[in-house]
Amino acid sequence: MSVFKGKETTKLSHIDLRGPVVIKAGRSILALGHSVAAKIIIELE
């Protein structure tokens, strides 16, 4: 249940004004706090 370099990730939902961000990484669904989500860098293919 982690996010790794090279793993396919999908953003499922977010709440404005510094709310949680929900992502799907592989088969796991994770809710990330705003400060953690802000540190993730995504590159599009």
* pLDDT tens digits, one per residue of 3-31: 788 888 888 998 887 889 999 988 889 99
Neighbouring C-beta atoms of residue 21, cutoff 10 Å: 19
Asked if the model's pLDDT at residue 45 lies above 70, the reply is: yes
Residue 22: exposed, middle, or buried by beta-carbon count in 10 A (0-12, 13-18, 19+)?
A: middle
Residue 3: closest CA among 26, 19, 35 = 26
Look up residue 45 and give its DSSP letter: -
pTM over 0.85: no
Mean pLDDT of 37-42: 85
